[in-house]
Amino acid sequence: MHLNIKATVGQKMKNEFDFNETTEYLLRNPSNIKKWLTLADKYMQTFAKDPSIFLLPKTHEFLKPLIEAYAFNIDGFVQYIVGIRDSFSKEDLAWEQVQNIQRRVNGRYVQQQRRERAQRAIAKAEELYGETDYHSRLKWVADLEHAWAGRRLLFLDKHRDERKSDRLDTDTRAELLLEFWEIVDTEIFDGGVPPWN
């Protein structure tokens, strides 16, 4: 069976892989899934920096549909990885390996969102209060992010209390965090940012 899959891949490399074929190939080869998802992630980052000079090695062309779909959509890639992970049993080594990749990629996505949110808040503060110097802006952002972090903890605690639970499962926590950040993004859009320090 494994040899047939390799032969099929060799034939497919002559043609274009489509997204579903790539996904099926990853799922049929769990022993290599960590390596291939890690490579796809690295290729996406390189592609996103400068698509005009990106060159994919021939042996990895089956990853091209993932790279094209998610190079500029980290959130989509995180959701894709979760789907791949959940195709395996939690007892499988592949589940654990894919979970580790999901954590790493999601961490990068969270940092990207954090930077973008801070930039939106700065732009809104400049619109409302005029410009300020670099050091004041840095302190203002640090104070604002600290306030958001405190509010986020209170928001999650409130929902833990409502559910009478010490822990929120991963999916519930993710949904609540999305809800919280939507509230913050709306506040920024509506001008709910403090004046410069």
Domain count within the chain: 2
Chain-centroid distance of CA 2 in Å reads 32
Do 181 and 122 belong together in one domain?
yes
Do 117 and 182 belong together in one domain?
yes
Last residue of a domain, one of 13, 45, 72: 72
Specify whether the CB–CB gap between 84 and 29 falls below 8 A. no
Does a structural domain hold residue 104?
A: no
Last residue of a domain, one of 57, 72, 87: 72
The pLDDT of residue 164 is 79
Specify whether the CB–CB gap between 70 and 56 falls below 8 A. no
Q: At what angle do helices 170-189 and 134-163 cross, to 10 degrees?
A: 140
Does a structural domain hold residue 83?
A: no
Picking from 96, 17, 112, 99, the residue whose alpha carbon sits closest to that of residue 59 is 17
Last residue of a domain, one of 72, 91, 123: 72
Does a structural domain hold residue 90?
A: no
Do 123 and 68 belong together in one domain?
no
Q: Which residues contact 94 (CB under 8 A, 6 or more apart)?
A: 30, 31, 33, 34, 88
pLDDT in tens, the chain (197 residues): 333 334 344 444 444 579 999 999 999 999 999 999 999 999 999 999 999 989 999 999 999 999 999 999 999 999 999 999 999 999 999 999 999 999 999 999 999 999 999 999 999 999 999 999 999 999 999 999 999 999 999 999 998 888 777 788 877 888 899 999 999 999 999 999 999 98
Does a structural domain hold residue 148?
A: yes
Do 62 and 10 belong together in one domain?
yes
Q: What range does the domain containing 184 cover?
A: 113-189
Does a structural domain hold residue 105?
A: no
Chain-centroid distance of CA 94 in Å reads 19
Specify whether the CB–CB gap between 108 and 81 falls below 8 A. no
Does a structural domain hold residue 12?
A: yes
